[in-house]
């Protein structure tokens, strides 16, 4: 009798555990992305092509290379690391930074939420960016190398 009760409880526990793990690991598709995103990349140069990445808080990373129009699933990074990037954007008050200074070869970061869609662009010899922006961009680029 105790073994039946134990088995029922164990089965219920496994079901709940599976439910929580599955719900906390939501995966998004290119067609249905959440509002909060960080886009980053580079463009210009001889070809004029743009390489763009889209990072989500859950760690999913999408890419769009050169002259393609659509994002493709690229890789997954640790959720904890992805969330740090979003915290940095928020801490920097990214939406208040006015930087639209692209050169022939340029770099960009776009911080996007349901209320904000703000892009900063810099490059070439058109002035330096702040160390905070350089560090954020370096951190984001490191995600694609992992």
CATH classification of the domain holding 113: 3.30.1560.10
**Residues 27-55: tens digit of each pLDDT:** 888 888 999 999 999 998 888 889 999 99
Q: What is the pLDDT of residues 77-132, one digit of tens each?
A: 999 999 999 999 999 999 999 999 888 899 999 999 999 999 999 997 766 789 99
- Does residue 89 lie within any of the structural domains? yes
Token pair, residue 99, equals 């930087």
Is there a domain that residue 53 lies in?
yes
* 3-class DSSP assignment, residue 37: strand
**Residue 44 CB-density burial (10 A; 0-12 exposed, 13-18 middle, 19+ buried):** middle
Looking at per-residue confidence, does 64 or 19 come out higher? Answer: 64
Residue 22 has pLDDT above 60, yes or no: no
pLDDT recorded at residue 126: 67
Number of domains in the chain: 1
Residue 9 pLDDT more than 70? Answer: no
Which pLDDT belongs to residue 65?
82
Q: Which domain holds residue 46?
A: 30-145
In a domain, 118, yes or no: yes
Is residue 74 assigned to a domain? Answer: yes
pLDDT band for 20, please (50, 70, 90 cuts): very low
Which residues lie below 8 Å from residue 26, measured CB to CB, with a gap of 6+? 58
Greater pLDDT, 23 or 128: 128
- Would you place residue 17 in the very low, low, confident or very high pLDDT band (cuts 50, 70, 90)? very low
């Amino acid at each position: 009798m105790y073994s039946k009760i134990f088995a029922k409880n164990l089965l219920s526990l496994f079901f709940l555990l599976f439910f929580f793990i599955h719900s906390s690991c939501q995966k998004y598709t290119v067609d249905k992305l959440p509002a909060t995103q960080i886009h980053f990349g580079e463009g210009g140069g001889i070809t004029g092509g743009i390489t763009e990445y889209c990072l989500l808080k859950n760690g999913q990373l999408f890419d769009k290379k050169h002259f393609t129009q659509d994002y493709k699933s690229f890789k997954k990074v640790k959720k904890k690391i992805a969330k740090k990037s979003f915290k940095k954007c928020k801490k920097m008050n990214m939406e208040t930074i006015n930087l639209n200074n692209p050169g022939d070869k340029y770099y960009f970061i776009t911080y996007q939420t349901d209320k904000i869609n703000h892009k900063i662009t810099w490059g070439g010899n058109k002035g330096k960016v702040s160390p905070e922006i350089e560090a954020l961009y370096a951190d984001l680029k490191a995600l694609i190398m992992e």
